[in-house]
Structure 1
Amino acid sequence: MGTLMNAVQTVLDMGPSVMLPIIIFIVGLIFRVKPGRALTSGITVGIGMIGINLVIDLLTTTVGPAAQAMVERFGLNLTVIDAGWPAISSITWAQPIAGLMIPIVLVVNLIMLGLKWTKTLNIDIWNYWHMAAAAATAYIITGNVIMGILAGIIYTVFCLIIADKTAYQVQEYYGLEGISFATGSAAGYAVFGIPAAWLISKIPGINKINVKPETIQKRFGVFGEPMIMGLIIGAFLAILGGYDITGILQTAMTMGGIMLLMPRMVKILMEGLTPIQEGAQKMLQGRYKGREIFLGMDAALATGSPAALSTGLLMVPITLFIAVILPGNRVLPFGDLATIPFFAALIVPGRKGNIVHSVLACTVAVTIGLYMATDFAPAITQMGEGIVEFPEGAAQISNLDTGGNILNWVFLKASELYNSVF
């Protein structure tokens, strides 16, 4: 087990910018893409991922301090700190069962593909940690390895089903041909967010509101440009944080840059994926008479959409506000605030980029997520003791990505039920 964990950690330490090119190259060869072209595709995808990660890091380092400034300015006092997905993923991989989940998730995916139970081949191995988190939760609570593995397998099945069901909307709205999102955080928030968005679209009056980046640009001209929208949202966050004029302008420019750069980084990544998609379609058409196959990718690709990114950024102050007024909530959102655009990845396409409907739907999903994250705090705190350093002033830790995710929370409750019965 120690050797396996060391091998897993070595691979994970390479990061997605190294892992993805290797995976894309191997998948390309499987789909009979010429080795030279498969290699070029892999490297291009890796470069695109480097660009995306640079912009995401910029987003995180901008939103994080702004959120912290809001917390301090408004004197928010909640005892469970949202430690963020990087800390929780580290906690996950430190659990004894986690290393087993990478091969298990991959085998389950391939079996489902072979049996035609899914169309998605999830090559986003970097995000297999979501499945491992479900397995680790069940294992830690029950002490039963089989229960842990079963939880990870069921979580995988849920993610693949949701990826399949939302694939056509993802492809049509984001322009990502042959792609689906099997990322656990996006899938979990879609469970409540998609039905909520549909119900919101039926409410008289609200159903007439149709605010999209395209309509904003058409009505307001240059002020509807994605980078100008970024400037406005960035300035809004900085003002709420109590920044001075220099800080407001710097934050505004950074957000404007993010809104302009992210779609271009996604475009580079997609250029690398195109030969692989073509190879997959050609092989499958010959062998399976036109059977479709989707490449499961990181929901971070959704941030190339101004609507998804705007929805996520607008949710930052809204999430903090909800956390303060929500009876029974003890979680102070912080670490995962910058990743809310990923939570919206599968919600925005169903509303065709309507920012108002998407924000309202995300508000419903995040509200429920805060209650689940509060309930999840003791388990995540137990898992993290001695592994990560707790934030100053935190009695417990939790997070929105994992603790506030229904796909994880159900396994927490199932594990607690198992203990009470057995």
Structure 2
Amino acid sequence: MITRRTKVQLVIFAIITLLGVSFVGARYAKLDRLVLDRTYTVTAHYPQSGGIFTGAEVTYRGVGIGTVGDLVLTEEGVDVKLDIENQWDKIPRDTIALVGNRSAVGEQYVELQPQTDDGPYLVDGSEIDDVATPIATEELLGNMSATVGSVDRDALRTTVTELGLAFAGTGEDLQKIIDTGNSFIKTAEDNFDVTTALIRDSNTVLEGQLASESSLRTFADQMSLFTSAMAGADADLRKLIDTGSFAATQLRTFLEQNGVELSELFANMVTTGEITVRHLPAIEQVLVVYPYAVLGAFVTVGKKNKEDGGSGFWDAHFGMIMHEGPLCHAGYSTTRRNPQTDREDLPLPNVGCKERIDQSNPRGSQNLRRVSPFPGAGEPVIVGYDIETGEIGWDVAQAPESARGNVAPPSLGADSWKWLYLQPMLDH
């Protein structure tokens, strides 16, 4: 016999069970929305429905956040109402509403794919214009059929046959390629941060290239001119290439046969070059004055025909211009003779003109103006000669290194570029 206490427990259990089943059923059937609205509505404008239906799930980053409401036909397509739960209020407005297929059966749903993480966010009444729908099955099958029908069967048969011949017996090689590809992908994943940094930093390089656009354009133009000149000289270049090996062989034979003589010749040329360098200003002066001397020779010696009033013989015309400069006094007054007691010639040591060249008319080769290869070098000396022994000596004092340096001497003037090949001879 059931006691009264047991009956009360059974009644309470039945009531609790009924309430639980009712609550779960109401939540599953979403009957609570008939009483309490806990969603906000967003409208997505589609050119076509893409198979979406009322009650389909709405997801955000793979998480269900609501359901599809009413579908409203418009002149532009279909407006789909998306009922999103209020707790999902941080969905950016910059979002794509994609209609996707959950399975091969064709169960559609709406996936919201945000393009940014920042606001503004969707609210009740917001609209989404950036939408996408899957390709219709009939359209996909039609396109595939058209693609397959456009392929030439004979060409396809030839392609398959050639591929079979190409890959026949290459299973191990293909396996190595696949394995290497996996290793490459693994290495790329391990260096993902380095790759992204490289891509990000490449923007700096590209900006530098953009800033050098004019220089690159000039380089391209000059390279075009160079290649055009090379193309114009194609025949000469071909001839040079054809005959270059023969000339190189002859040059090598010449060097092998005359190696010792050439070394001596080059050594002597270095000495000659040193002497020439030391007297380079004087040589330059001779080259400047020589044309005037030749011109004066044509004026001095000439022939005038009788028809022109001349004698018909070669005539030489000479003239002398006498100009006596100021006399030099300094240097002659240091030694005096006493006519009362001295009757013989007395030695006159250190007697001579002591004045500067530009103040009087000094005589003697010692007063000749000389050019020097660099200031303060004095008389340039390359080779020494001993009068007593009659031998030539090469160990002579050279100009101080401080006077030479790596800078072209002022005496070269506008031809200072010559110092590039003259200095090695001086340093030899």
Query: TM-score category by the smaller chain?
Result: under 0.3
State the TM-score, normalized to the length of structure 1. 0.15
Greater per-residue strand proportion: 2
Which one has more relative contact order, counting CA pairs under 8 Å at least 6 apart? 1
Relative to its length, the structure with more helix (as a share) is 1
TM-score normalised by length of structure 2 = 0.15
**Which protein shows a greater Rg?**
2
